[in-house]
Amino acid sequence: MILALDPLIGGNHPELETKGLPRQTRRSLPIALLRAREAVMSEFRPMLARHDINEQQWRVIRMLGEYGELDASALADRALVLAPSLTRMIKTLEKSKLVTRRKDKIDGRRALLSITPKARELINEIAPESAQIYKELEDKFGARKMEQLLDMLEAVTSVCADE
Amino acid sequence: MILALDPLIGGNHPELETKGLPRQTRRSLPIALLRAREAVMSEFRPMLARHDINEQQWRVIRMLGEYGELDASALADRALVLAPSLTRMIKTLEKSKLVTRRKDKIDGRRALLSITPKARELINEIAPESAQIYKELEDKFGARKMEQLLDMLEAVTSVCADE
DNA sequence: GATCTGTAATTAACATGTTAAATAAATTCA
DNA sequence: TGAATTTATTTAACATGTTAATTACAGATC
């Protein structure tokens, strides 16, 4: 997505390409971010799958583990999940006894969510495996470069976020 | 996602947090990539919506515009869409007369996909708007930093991809 | 040339992503 | 106070994401 296309009709000639990608797409930030995310997540997904959990569920459970009880909006925000998705996910997670839900007595609109002891056990199983994978990635890529990359990602995020 | 969780039960204390995020999550690469992508895409999505097209459809059309006719596997690969998603998307895009589809006469298993003149017109409308948004982003973030970020994203992608 | 194996695409089933509309509770303010 | 407005959540409808199974064809082997 999201770079100028040249006016050529019928695709680019090979000499305009590098690394097998046309120049328009090769250095597109949105695509580079998507590619990187896919690549990184491919290291973690099989491990999560072995624990019968998906990426989004892991984010939700983790955030509740880290913050404690949260209302739905705050949780959706932190777990980077949209509210309607969260509503559905909570139903599933309640059925599998990983999340509990109660009404806020002060503000009746709010749903307060927290994790069960079973979910804490799950976190305790997954966390070390996750840390291991992360560490291997950090070793291969370089801890220093990782820090730099995280800094730049934070920077580009805030450039886009506020305006 | 994907950093070690400390053994504290019931969430972190405020003094362990920075920028409103618990330390476990604050510097997680998968989450940073997701956040960055969401932030960047939020700049482009409204423009694409005005053209009645979503992010994935734009990637598919763009790739066909850049490469010319492709079989479904090659297209799915380049557009970063899974094959089953692509199958469904092509049906929609055929109905809206943006993509055409034919069988490969040499290898009967392959579906060869290309875009219509109508899609080329759409590309010609979207491309300059996209370039404009991209340029503004580059100006705000810094062209040099953008290059560095793209380099690092490429690097982390290849570290994960091959092994 | 019939079977066996591998590959491309599709289908199926269930998950989340996305936008808009509906619901319900809180807040504002005339 | 009570109507109007705002806010939190849910529902609805349709999109893609994801994995597994299926279908259809190609290529290899005997």
Which pLDDT tens digit goes with each residue over B27-46?
Answer: 899 999 999 999 999 999 99
Mean pLDDT of A132-152: 95
Question: Is pLDDT above 50 for B18?
Answer: no
Q: Which residues of B touch A133 (CB under 8 A)?
A: 2
Tens of pLDDT along B75-97? 999 999 999 999 999 999 999 99
Mean pLDDT of B125-148: 94
Name the 3-class secondary structure at B96.
Answer: coil
Q: What is the pLDDT of residue B17?
A: 44
Q: What is the pLDDT of residue B8?
A: 36
Listed by number, the residues of chain B in 86-115 with a beta carbon closer than 8 Å to a beta carbon of chain A are none
**Which residue's CA is nearest to the C1' of nucleotide C24?**
A109
Residues 6 or more apart from A122 whose CB is under 8 A from it?
A: A51, A53, A61, A98
- d(CA A113, C1' D12) / Å: 24
Q: B153 is written with which tokens?
A: 């994203």
- d(CA B96, C1' C19) / Å: 20
pLDDT band (50, 70, 90) for residue A148:
very high
Question: Is pLDDT above 70 for A15?
Answer: no
Dihedral pair phi/psi, residue B49, rounded to 5°: -60, -35
Strands A99-103 and A70-71, sheet pairing: unpaired
- Type of residue numbered A23: R
Name which residue leads in pLDDT, B158 or B22.
Answer: B158
Question: Rounded to an integer, what distance in angstroms lies between the CA atom of residue A24 and that of residue B114?
Answer: 18
